[in-house]
Structure 1
Amino acid sequence: MRKISIITITYNAEKFLERTIQSILAQTCQDFEYIIVDGKSKDGTLAIAQKYQERINILVSEPDKGLYDAMNKGQQLANGDFVWFMNAGDEINDIHAVEQIYQQIDDDTDVLYGDSYFVDDLGNIQGLRSEVTPHRLPHHLTWQDMNLGMLVCHQAFIASKRVAPLYWQENLSADIDWEIECLKKAKGIVLLNFVVAKYLTGGISNKQLKRSLIDRYKVLQKHFGVLGAIGSHLLILVRGVFLMLRKGGKYW
């Protein structure tokens, strides 16, 4: 059986990390590798991770150059055939998820993807991503479907290491680029028919929105060309305005 490495990136996340760890260790199938990469947290994050050290295969705590540097470290440490990032504050939604994912993997499988819930700081569900955003999940996902941005939540995207590149470390939209690169190389792409993850809102791209938008343009330009990137961003803008008007000023 091809194995999964689940990777958690964390930094000063003592409020959120434990629920992430517990959602992973509660899985009915524990036949996976679990890796935590901590950026030398200054709060109680590392102590929380160390509580579960017997069930964590690799625990690293050292300074890094940011989120995607840490994710690259985690991916390079992974011994499994697949990598699945479940960062601090995020959760696997269902205790049977790993078991169900293994049932969908064959020799040709390179990507598995599904839906996710948005959750707030307390872990309360705010909505299903495919319902409260314009991102509808296609039954047959291709890299061209990513022309309007992050179609699949990163926490609900599992990729084989044979197609997964390292992250574009300096780009705040590196997760979009990573998913596109995986999909371009993937042989078998599988839609999971259950909600895969709970995603904690308010990540780095939301906190540095202006730079994130510029970086997203760079990613789309890389894959779709200048005209394609400009056209995509015009559509994203129109769609976002329409959705906010419809929802009374709130994007999701």
Structure 2
Amino acid sequence: MQPKLSVITIVYNNVKDIERTMLSVLNQTYPNIEYIIIDGASKDGTKDIIYNYKSRLAQFISEPDKGIYDAMNKGLSLATGDYVLFMNSGDEIYGPETVTEVFGSADSADIYYGETEMYDEQWQSLGQRRHRAPEHFNWKSFRHGMSVSHQAIYVKRSIAGPFDLQYKFSADIDWIIRAAKNASSIVNTHSYVAKYLVGGVSKKKHLESLKERFKIFTKYYGLVPNLFNHVFIALNLAQYYIRHRKTND
């Protein structure tokens, strides 16, 4: 029996990208997918595009929400699949065979994960994420940075609780760590599974996001280890930018 996958897309006023994301889900060769779209009452034509595919959707809600993680919780509450995957507007499942390949990589894992390719706003590839997916992943793997993006992780719904709404920017990190703590089997698919649209988050929000991440990592890993880990993160970041600058010179 092939497991049922609930794919949840969150969108608000993204008429430019929503169809591309939807088609990456709807064109999957895997037969047992439940597609749920949660729209935050878009006013730019996004809903009109979604309605074109309404007959192929399991659920479609368009109403105001209290932010992205509130919308994600709405999607989770509607999901009936064995696994859940969040593929937000602008991102894509990597290729038409991806879901088939993910579930074909091992039987009945609690979590499947893979690699992410980054894309700019013109949908030009920027290559692999700076944080590569680790060979082995568990709840401690984020201590040196977010090594697996939420677009690239398939989580068994029975171990996936709701997102903690006290976090406005980094609740996905907390959610993945909690799921990983509950997981007994985590499988690396050793393949690209997602395409991620690099967003233009403001510097203010970026700083607030970093503060939230520090708070989350402290909760799980402890303050002193987290401080040491952030020194490691800073050194890695500096090395990355030095190497990147050399290759561009």
TM-score interval, normalised by the smaller of the two chains: over 0.9
How far apart, in 2, do the equivalents of 1:206 and 1:64 lie?
24
Output the amino acid matched with 2:22.
I
Does structure 1 residue 187 correspond to structure 2 residue 178?
no
Q: Which residue number corresponds to residue 161 of structure 1?
A: 157
Is the CA contact 2:40–2:63 (under 8 Å) kept in the aligned structure 1? yes
Does structure 1 residue 223 correspond to structure 2 residue 220?
yes
Q: When the two structures are superposed, what TM-score results if normalisation uses the length of structure 2?
A: 0.93
Contiguous gaps of at least 5 residues in structure 1 = none
Q: When the two structures are superposed, what TM-score results if normalisation uses the length of structure 1?
A: 0.92
Given the superposition, is the C-alpha separation of residues 158 and 23 from structure 1 closer, same or farther in structure 2, using an over 3 Å criterion?
same
Does structure 1 residue 76 correspond to structure 2 residue 73?
no
Is the CA contact 2:134–2:147 (under 8 Å) kept in the aligned structure 1? no
- Consecutive aligned runs of 4 or more in structure 1 exceeding 3 Å deviation: 203-207
Equivalent residues, number: 245
C-alpha offsets along residues 184-225 of structure 1, whole Å, 9 cap, x if unaligned? 110111111221010011165877111001000011011001
CA-CA distance at 1:105 after TM superposition? 4.9
Structure 1 counterpart SS, 2:30: coil
Structure 2 counterpart SS, 1:106: coil
How far apart, in 2, do the equivalents of 1:249 and 1:50 lie?
48
Q: Which deviates the most, 111-120 or 172-181?
A: 172-181
CA-CA distance at 1:123 after TM superposition? 2.0
Percent of aligned positions that are identical: 42
Q: Which deviates the most, 228-237 or 157-166?
A: 228-237
CA-CA distance at 1:163 after TM superposition? 1.1
Is the CA contact 2:112–2:186 (under 8 Å) kept in the aligned structure 1? yes
Is the CA contact 2:10–2:72 (under 8 Å) kept in the aligned structure 1? yes
Output the amino acid matched with 2:170.
S
Is the CA contact 1:149–1:176 (under 8 Å) kept in the aligned structure 2? no
Pick aligned residue for 1:150 from 146, 153, 165? 146
Output the amino acid matched with 2:142.
M
Map 1:86-97 onto structure 2 (within 5 A). Answer: 86-97=87-98
Map 1:198-209 onto structure 2 (within 5 A). Answer: 198-202=195-199, 204=201, 208-209=205-206
Q: Which residue number corresponds to residue 247 of structure 1?
A: 244
Contiguous gaps of at least 5 residues in structure 2 = none
Pick aligned residue for 1:137 from 108, 133, 156? 133
Q: Which residue number corresponds to residue 49 of structure 1?
A: 50
Structure 2 counterpart SS, 1:208: helix
Q: Which residue number corresponds to residue 232 of structure 1?
A: 229
Is the CA contact 1:205–1:212 (under 8 Å) kept in the aligned structure 2? no
Q: Which residue number corresponds to residue 123 of structure 1?
A: 123
How far apart, in 1, do the equivalents of 2:44 and 2:19 lie?
14
Is the CA contact 2:111–2:187 (under 8 Å) kept in the aligned structure 1? yes
Q: Which deviates the most, 196-205 or 4-13?
A: 196-205
How far apart, in 2, do the equivalents of 1:204 and 1:157 lie?
22
Given the superposition, is the C-alpha separation of residues 160 and 44 from structure 1 closer, same or farther in structure 2, using an over 3 Å criterion?
same
Output the amino acid matched with 1:117.
E
How far apart, in 2, do the equivalents of 1:202 and 1:38 lie?
18
Given the superposition, is the C-alpha separation of residues 206 and 60 from structure 1 closer, same or farther in structure 2, using an over 3 Å criterion?
farther
| CA-atom RMSD in angstroms | 1.8
Structure 2 counterpart SS, 1:197: strand
CA-CA distance at 1:242 after TM superposition? 2.2
